[in-house]
Amino acid sequence: MITLPRLPAAVVFDMDGLIFDTERLWMAAMVETLAMHGHDMEPDFYLTVVGTPWVSIREGLLERFGPDLPADEIGPAWTERFVSLCRERLALKTGVVELLDELDALGIPAAVATSSPKALAHEHFDGAGLTERFQCILAPGDYERGKPDPAPYLAAARRLGVDPHDCLALEDSRNGVRSAAAAGMMTVMVPDLLGPTPEIDALCQAIAADLHEVRKGLVALAA
């Protein structure tokens, strides 16, 4: 069970790898897309860009595969393949619905701050019937700079009308943790593809095995 210094006034969720089990689908889609352009991608490369916006991923691709890579073709093709994979096998991460139910019971509002395109995020949430469970869903275009910059989490706090220091941020990626911690939020990491480093551990209030553990921690605080 996690421990926090105080009960949060709001909770801000990441999306990919935290709410939806999408990171493995993103990686599979990138492997397939790059293979179509004659390149083999090692999983280790994808792990370096987890939790970052497309502009950062694009830079990483060009650095890894060279300036002749048609990155502006690969981006849309990658997303298209990802969407196709999601329609086949998108799944919720364990504990999502139970945590949202607990937040409702405690009267704690929730928001999402994601690096994924807005239309794609809404397709995921609408398909899962979860859109109305959040006060707002922020995506690129709703903030100036992507993770690891604090802008996504600061924007979410403004939308919620809550001081960032009174918010709990839930993240699965290292760049997401950096973003939330820089915004001044209580930050809990629920690792997906990558675990914490000593740096990341120092930025977190806790490392949780899953969202059930987060829920239990909030219940204990509210008791």
Question: What Å distances lie between residue 61 and 52, 71, 84, 126, CA to CA?
Answer: 13, 7, 22, 31
Q: Is 172 a catalytic residue?
A: no
Q: Is 210 a catalytic residue?
A: no
As annotated, the active-site residues are 14, 16
